[in-house]
Structure 1
Amino acid sequence: MLLNAIRVAVLLALESVMGTIAQSFNVTTPIFWQNTTITTPVTARIKTSENAFQPIFDNLVNQTSNSVEFKDNPPEFSMPGTFFWELALFDYLTNQTTYQDKVQSYFASVAKDNPDFSGQYLDTALVYGYAAMQAHRAYGDPLYLQYAENSWAFGYNWTIKPADVQAGSFPGMNWTIPPQCSVGTLAGGTFWQALGSDNTYINALATGLFCSLRIAC
């Protein structure tokens, strides 16, 4: 439910900005489109988006300790990170710094005891690296770039390298890496869990997040 609320808030933010941008293009609107003119002022749309964030703020706990959690689902590590990036993205799209202090304090809370934002599941832990990229783009603070690099380094330890494929093995794992899979090499694939032994599941979301960090870092 919270993730849906986050998505609604960001969609409203996107509409508030992209609607204005779209109106600036000289294009012909298809005749089957209806009610395409956005008449609500941008300031009103931004305010609606900010209001959509409030229930999510109300659900946050441990905002100033060594973690950031939600009341509805405290163990879910990725949810706060997702919220961080949506706040930063909102500020970037609306060209403001409304949530800069909150994003900074949230990141500091998590980084205090977990500077590389590591976790058992790569597809949730690497969300923080992506969030740091969004925050760096929005606010320009080099600390966020360091956070992203720390997250990248964690993901790198659980990503298959060309040398691993050539050797046919991954450090600490009881698994023979095939030289090819059905779509090509396994090099660049990121494991789902930061575990050794029989952990052989390569996760698409973890791989995509690591790839985005690799490009940025």
Structure 2
Amino acid sequence: MTYGPHQINTPVVALALCGYAAAQDFGVPLSWRKFSNTRPLNERISIAQAAIDAILPQLNTATAEFNGIGFWQSGNVCEWLSFSSAVTWLKYDTPKFNDDAMWWATAAVYAHRAYGDPAMLSHAVDTWNHVSTFAITPAQASAGRHPAKSFTLAGTCDGKSMAGGVFWRPTADDQGVNSVTTGLYLTLSAFLAEITGDQKYTNAAIQSANWMRSLNINSKNLALDTVNAHDCSRSPDSWIFTYNSGKLIEGLSVLSHVTGDNQWDTLMGNVLIASTKGAPWQGSNGVITEGSSPNSNNDGVGFKSVLIRGLHEAFERSPNNALRILVHSYVDVQYNALLDLAANGSTYSSSWAGPPQGFTTWGQLAALDVMTSAINAN
């Protein structure tokens, strides 16, 4: 295997960590397109700031949403904007989807982490309390009933407990439990456990991580999409999306740090390797092709930025040098593709393989996590 040219200095890795890392292949594929860059830090910061500046005119301050993209995507923008000191507000609604609520709650966690704002932490806690009423507890799984749902609950699917899964929609008749909602809940729980030290958040994160590991990761270590909580039917195997694995990577990296339990670090590494090497959303050159939609917005456009953010969180937290080199290289593949193939000045097409086009809010949204991640990952 061959790694990228930039050696990243990290703390000495414990023997146990070295043992698991040796069994995982973090090597960088030589077929990847331009997996390093020599742009200095000040240039990378300038490029990212210009990309942020280009999307800010689309902000509707009355609604805290951005023109041209949807509710959850606006929450996704706010997540990374909290790092730039550009967000001094946060919108909260009672949305139709539990994942929508948690995109905004995660933005609040990021804002609290950046600025120590207690109002942001309070918002995140309130959202966690609300969404927790739609998480399946061990007792509910055993009883085959959930108080918020009108149907009989399948307590086990494929012989594994449904405890830890989180319903996508709060309506009484909706039966779907999916990866993005459960992954967001895992991530939010782990962040709150880290911030507050309250064991209830740690326990919730562990239950959701176990649900993902037991029921919704395929044999290639990629997150699947949806399990029906009534009859255990599944979404098609082809429903493999970047954001499901990306949010799982983020949550597991935080959970591993909170608990000090290497099983979560190992699982995170397996999902991270699968998500960056040989995943269905890219070709042999490593450039992500999912969500390439120059003419209209769709949810898929926002998915891939969630993967990049999850990889960035893992990069920031992991003492594993090989993992960090892999993430650095993968981020640079996307970064160089955007700058070389998809850039129109400081705006970017949602098709990272190009060609360039005029500004779209969704294309800019998709590029922002790459631009900001490249600052730290080099």
Alignment partner, residue 84 of structure 1? 78
CA deviations on 1:111-162 (whole Å, 9 max, x unpaired) are 4xx4xxx311112221111111222222222222212111111211111111
Q: How far apart are residue 34 of structure 1 and its match?
A: 8.8
Residue identity (%):
29
Question: Residues 55 and 202 of structure 1: is their aligned pair in 2 closer, same or farther, counting only changes over 3 Å?
Answer: same
Q: How far apart are residue 37 of structure 1 and its match?
A: 6.5
| Aligned with residue 178 of structure 1, among 132, 154, 170 | 154
Check the 8 A contact 2:105/2:188 in 1, yes or no. yes
Unaligned 5+ residue runs, structure 1? 1-18, 92-98
Aligned residues: 171
Q: How far apart are residue 38 of structure 1 and its match?
A: 4.0
Alignment partner, residue 139 of structure 1? 115
Does residue 188 of structure 2 align to residue 213 of structure 1? yes
Alignment partner, residue 71 of structure 1? 67
Aligned equivalents of 1:34, 1:79: Cα separation in 2? 28
Aligned equivalents of 1:184, 1:36: Cα separation in 2? 40
Aligned equivalents of 2:36, 2:154: Cα separation in 1? 55
Check the 8 A contact 2:168/2:177 in 1, yes or no. yes
CA deviations on 1:12-68 (whole Å, 9 max, x unpaired) are xxxxxxx9xx55539xx98x699776432211110101111123212222x1x3x21
Alignment partner, residue 170 of structure 2? 194
The 5-angstrom pairing of residues 37-76 of structure 1 reads: 38-61=37-60, 63=61, 65=62, 67-73=63-69, 76=70
Counterpart amino acid of 2:65? E
Aligned equivalents of 2:158, 2:189: Cα separation in 1? 24
> Could you say what the CA RMSD is over the residues aligned between the two structures, in angstroms?
2.7
Check the 8 A contact 2:134/2:148 in 1, yes or no. no
Does residue 16 of structure 2 align to residue 25 of structure 1? no
* Greater relative CO, 1 or 2 (CA 8 Å, sep 6+): 2
Aligned equivalents of 2:33, 2:141: Cα separation in 1? 54
Aligned equivalents of 2:177, 2:131: Cα separation in 1? 12
Question: Residues 162 and 149 of structure 1: is their aligned pair in 2 closer, same or farther, counting only changes over 3 Å?
Answer: same
Check the 8 A contact 1:123/1:203 in 2, yes or no. no
Query: SS of 1:202's equivalent?
Result: strand
Alignment partner, residue 141 of structure 2? 165
Q: TM-score, normalised by structure 2?
A: 0.41
Check the 8 A contact 2:133/2:148 in 1, yes or no. no
Counterpart amino acid of 2:87? V
CA deviations on 1:75-130 (whole Å, 9 max, x unpaired) are x2211210111122xx3xxxxxxx32x3122x1xx14xx4xxx3111122211111
Counterpart amino acid of 2:166? T
